[in-house]
């Protein structure tokens, strides 16, 4: 059953400020995961979200690629003054644009959706070593929320984790 978006909780307008920059994460950088502490600065906000793609389990971390599955994750939002520092730190973690190293992930812009239906332009790290993908297991959409199925990592993921949506 889909809910009428007007019945969903409203966020304060300051939290959805148009000038925030957004990063969609789907794996080890999410809240409660092993690299959550690697963010160089606390986010202005962190909200459950989803985007279209394909998720693969590499073992220790997931790989995201373009696709048509709903992929569960989070939007981490930062003011423009902080985004270069955030990108630099995440590029190191994700082995993106590092001198003398082949990219493990590439950073691209996508459309991600908050659980209230709002679409945001966000950056995401997609897996760059396409020749490795055939040896990874595809994460099938298994998590159900509001009548839709989502691919989520790890296999025991809890989502959404925003307390304001617990009653939905």
Its pTM stands at 0.83
For 48-89, write each residue's pLDDT tens digit.
999 999 999 999 999 999 999 999 999 999 999 999 999 999
Compute the Cα dihedral for 9, 13, 15, 21 and give only its sign: positive
pLDDT band at 161 (very low <50, low <70, confident <90, very high): low
CB of 56 closer than 8 Å to CB of 127: yes
Alpha carbon 4 to its chain's center: 24
pLDDT band at 38 (very low <50, low <70, confident <90, very high): confident
For 93-113, write each residue's pLDDT tens digit.
999 989 899 999 999 999 999
The DSSP call for residue 151 is B
Residue 128 has pLDDT above 90, yes or no: yes
Letter string b/e over residues 92-110, b meaning 16 or more CB atoms within 10 A of that residue's CB: ebbebeeeeeebbbebeeb
CB of 26 closer than 8 Å to CB of 64: yes
DSSP result, 34-60:
TTGGG-SS--SEEEEEEEEEEEEE-SS
**Tokens at residue 113, please?**
């959706």
pLDDT band at 18 (very low <50, low <70, confident <90, very high): low
Q: Is the peptide bond before 160 cis (omega within 30 degrees of 0)?
A: yes
CB of 105 closer than 8 Å to CB of 123: no
More confident residue, 150 or 15: 150
């Amino acid at each position: 059953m889909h809910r009428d978006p007007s019945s969903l909780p409203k966020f304060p307008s300051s939290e959805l400020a148009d000038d925030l920059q957004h990063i969609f994460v789907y794996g080890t950088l999410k809240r409660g995961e092993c690299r959550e502490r690697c963010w160089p600065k606390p986010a202005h906000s962190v909200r459950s979200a989803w985007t279209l793609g394909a998720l693969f389990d590499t073992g220790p971390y997931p790989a995201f690629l373009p696709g048509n599955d709903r992929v569960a994750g989070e939007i981490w939002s930062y003011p423009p003054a902080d985004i270069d520092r955030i990108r630099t730190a995440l590029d190191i973690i994700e082995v993106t644009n590092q001198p003398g190293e082949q990219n493990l992930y590439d950073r691209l812009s996508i459309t991600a959706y908050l659980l209230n239906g709002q679409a945001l332009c966000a950056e995401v790290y997609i897996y760059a070593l396409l020749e490795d993908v055939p040896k990874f297991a595809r994460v099938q959409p298994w998590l159900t929320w509001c009548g839709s199925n989502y691919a989520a990592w790890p296999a025991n993921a809890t989502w959404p984790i925003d307390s304001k949506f617990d009653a939905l």
